[in-house]
């Protein structure tokens, strides 16, 4: 690759030598998860016929029903649903919460405020009649304590009305660390000892295939996520999934579709091939993304920036946070990521107002699938300390090229020096 500053290539190559052992850890995780996915395929005897979808009501859709079984197997769940009718991960989560919660129920958000797109679902920032609050459901938020779950405060807030305890694995737009499945599993166990009927719900977005285990391995009752994040492998053009205990999946689908119809309906037409192939390659794609994030973290830390997680720390989602400290650095970083995108590389990201944020947000993403977070993107609120959140990347090589572009532009603008 051509680079105006040849010392950038030498600098990055030197960093790569330092982090080879970290790469090896994720090679091992990807191998484990690839074997798990392949086993799910072979166990369910997938054939070419499963790749062709249905029309209309979608009754007796062999491909859809088998894909549900594959997801259940992969995520250690009793049942799963994988549907293109879910327009996003938020949609899948919203359908789940509305299907499980009723008037006078309480939901506890055990990992602090959930991701911003759920604020309107709950009713904190919306006057819609269809929010949880307007249904008579009480939300309770348990702030984290230095990125750890505040167990004492959580237990204090559990009562006979507590129906769901909600966990978000990913850091989202925060400085906290992502949470491991094992760490969360200890909390699930504690909650079940208090009341075995409490529903443990996990927002699994950005976390699929990052570890060798998934939330249901440790006792989660329901998990949900987006197909244009990790499990779609960069091929799924839309959709979401929900997995967990069968009785809860049935209840959710009675709400999401209609009572008595539920998971037995939903045409798939030409989409199944992408869903099948996407989840099959997902372990490798997630590995590429994570290894690119490790390189990015090591490079930026070497240049003196705070990063989370650092290149030697365990990873439980695909998001990399970098504290840039200066507005010009944030803008330059995102402009470079956009210019390194395969789609809309000539576009210049401009900060804009987004609902739920108290400052403008700059977003860089030139993706094949609109909004696909498994593809390389970067965004962050334009306010001090000017954190940028980087996620995705379909190939390690693309992420490396993007890092070179970032450093090139920062040097050109006099923002950093590399000796």
In a shared domain, residues 177 and 246: yes
> How far apart are the C-alpha atoms of 400 and 382, rounded to whole Å?
25
In a shared domain, residues 295 and 238: no
In a shared domain, residues 254 and 309: no
Q: Please state the domain count of the chain.
A: 2
SS (H, E, C) the chain: CCCCCHHHHHHHHHHHHHCHHHHHHHHHHHHHHHHHHHHHHHHCCCCHHHHCCCCCCCCCCHHHHHHHHHHHHHCCCCEEEEECCCCCHHHHHHHHHHHHCCCCCEEEECCCCCCHHHHHHHCCCCCCCCCCHHHCCEEEECCCECCECCHHHHHHCCCCCEEEEEEECCCCCCCCCCCCHHHHHHHHHHHHHHCCCCEEEEECCCCCCCCCCCHHHHCCCEEEEECCCHHHCCCCCCCEEEEECHHHHHHHHHHHCCCCCHHHCCCCCCCHHHHHHHHHHHHHHHHHHHHHHHHHHHHHHHCCCEEECCCCCCCCCCEEEEECCCHHHHHHHHHHHHHCCCCCCCCCCCCECCCCCCCCEEEEECCCCCCCCCCCEEEEECCCCCEEEEECCCCHHHHHHHHHHHHHHHHHCCCCCCC
User: What CATH number has the domain bearing residue 166?
Assistant: 3.40.640.10
List, for residues 303-330, the tens digit of each pLDDT value: 999 999 998 899 999 999 999 999 999 9
Q: Which has more confidence, 111 or 172?
A: 111
Whether 267 maps to a domain, the answer reads yes
What pLDDT score does 117 carry?
Answer: 85
What pLDDT score does 356 carry?
Answer: 56
Whether 201 maps to a domain, the answer reads yes
Whether 285 maps to a domain, the answer reads yes
List, for residues 24-79, the tens digit of each pLDDT value: 999 999 999 999 999 999 999 999 999 999 999 999 999 999 999 999 999 999 99
What pLDDT score does 115 carry?
Answer: 87
Strand partners, 162: 106
Residue 3 has pLDDT above 70, yes or no: no
Residue 180 has pLDDT above 90, yes or no: yes
In a shared domain, residues 165 and 215: yes
User: What CATH number has the domain bearing residue 19?
Assistant: 3.90.1150.60
> How far apart are the C-alpha atoms of 64 and 51, rounded to whole Å?
9
Lowest mean pLDDT among 1-10, 31-40, 86-95, 168-177: 1-10
In a shared domain, residues 188 and 225: yes
In a shared domain, residues 263 and 313: no
Q: How many CB atoms lie within 10 A of CB 5?
A: 14
Domain of 20, in residue numbers: 6-32+281-412
What pLDDT score does 4 carry?
Answer: 60
- In our burial notation (b when 16+ CB lie closer than 10 A, e otherwise), range 83-120 reads bbbbebbbbbbbbbbbbbbeeebbbbbbbbbbbbbbbb
What pLDDT score does 354 carry?
Answer: 72
What pLDDT score does 415 carry?
Answer: 84
Q: How many CB atoms lie within 10 A of CB 41?
A: 17
What pLDDT score does 414 carry?
Answer: 86
Whether 344 maps to a domain, the answer reads yes
Residue 1 has pLDDT above 60, yes or no: no
Whether 37 maps to a domain, the answer reads no
Please state the rounded mean pLDDT for residues 208-230.
Answer: 98
- The domain boundary, picked from 279, 314, 335, lies at 279
In a shared domain, residues 221 and 262: yes
> How far apart are the C-alpha atoms of 311 and 329, rounded to whole Å?
21
Residue 355 has pLDDT above 90, yes or no: no
Residue 301 has pLDDT above 80, yes or no: yes
Residue 408 has pLDDT above 70, yes or no: yes
| Strand-strand pairing, 240-244 and 377-381 | unpaired
What pLDDT score does 130 carry?
Answer: 94
Write the CB contacts of 6 (distance below 8 Å, at least 6 apart in sequence): none
Whether 153 maps to a domain, the answer reads yes
In a shared domain, residues 234 and 183: yes
Cβ atoms 337, 406 nearer than 8 A: yes
In a shared domain, residues 221 and 74: yes
Whether 195 maps to a domain, the answer reads yes
Residue 234 has pLDDT above 90, yes or no: yes
> How far apart are the C-alpha atoms of 276 and 280, rounded to whole Å?
6
In a shared domain, residues 299 and 361: yes
- The domain boundary, picked from 240, 264, 279, lies at 279
Question: 5: pLDDT confidence band, cut at 50, 70 and 90?
Answer: low
Give the gyration radius of the chain's Cα atoms. Answer: 21
Whether 1 maps to a domain, the answer reads no
> How far apart are the C-alpha atoms of 77 and 171, rounded to whole Å?
24
Average pLDDT score, the chain: 94
- The domain boundary, picked from 279, 296, 331, lies at 279
In a shared domain, residues 285 and 298: yes
**Percentage of the residues of the chain whose pLDDT score is greater than 70:** 97
List, for residues 76-126, the tens digit of each pLDDT value: 999 999 999 999 999 999 999 999 999 999 999 999 999 888 999 999 987
In a shared domain, residues 160 and 78: yes
> How far apart are the C-alpha atoms of 396 and 29, rounded to whole Å?
16
> How far apart are the C-alpha atoms of 365 and 380, rounded to whole Å?
12
């Amino acid at each position: 690759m051509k680079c105006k500053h040849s010392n950038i290539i030498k600098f990055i190559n030197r960093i790569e030598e330092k982090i080879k052992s970290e790469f090896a850890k994720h090679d091992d995780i990807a191998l484990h998860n690839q074997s798990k996915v392949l086993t799910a395929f072979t166990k369910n005897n997938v054939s070419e016929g499963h790749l062709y979808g249905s029309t209309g009501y979608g009754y007796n859709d062999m491909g859809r029903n088998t894909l549900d079984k594959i997801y259940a197997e992969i995520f250690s769940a009793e049942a799963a649903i994988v549907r293109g009718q879910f327009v996003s991960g938020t949609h899948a989560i919203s359908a789940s919460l509305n299907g499980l919660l009723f008037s006078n129920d309480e939901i506890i958000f055990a990992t602090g405020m959930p991701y911003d797109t759920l604020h309107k679902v709950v009713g904190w920032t919306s006057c819609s009649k269809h929010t949880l609050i307007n249904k008579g459901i009480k939300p309770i938020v348990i702030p984290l304590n230095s990125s750890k779950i505040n167990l004492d405060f959580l237990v204090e807030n559990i009562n006979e009305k507590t129906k769901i305890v909600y966990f978000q694995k990913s850091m989202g737009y925060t400085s906290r660390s992502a949470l491991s499945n094992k760490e969360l599993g200890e909390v699930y166990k504690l909650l079940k000892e208090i009341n075995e009927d409490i529903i443990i719900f996990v927002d699994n977005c950005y976390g699929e295939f990052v570890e060798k285990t998934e939330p249901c391995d440790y006792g989660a009752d329901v998990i949900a996520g987006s197909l244009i994040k990790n499990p779609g492998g960069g091929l799924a053009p839309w959709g979401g999934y929900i997995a967990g205990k069968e009785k809860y999946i049935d209840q959710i689908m009675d709400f999401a579709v209609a009572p008595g119809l539920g998971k037995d309906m939903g045409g798939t037409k030409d989409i199944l091939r992408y869903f099948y192939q996407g989840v099959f390659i997902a372990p490798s794609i997630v590995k590429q993304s994570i290894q690119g994030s490790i390189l990015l973290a090591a490079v930026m830390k070497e240049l003196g920036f705070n990063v989370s997680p650092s290149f030697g720390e365990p990873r439980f989602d695909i998001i990399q946070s970098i504290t840039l400290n200066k507005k010009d650095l944030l803008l330059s970083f995102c402009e470079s990521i956009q210019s390194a995108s395969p789609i809309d590389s000539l576009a210049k990201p401009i900060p804009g107002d987004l609902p739920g944020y108290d400052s403008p947000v700059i977003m860089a993403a030139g993706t094949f699938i609109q909004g696909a977070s498994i593809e390389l993107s970067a965004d962050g609120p334009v306010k001090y300390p000017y954190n940028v959140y980087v996620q995705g990347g379909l190939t390690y090589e693309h992420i490396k090229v993007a890092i070179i572009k970032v450093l090139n532009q920062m040097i050109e603008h006099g923002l950093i020096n590399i000796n």
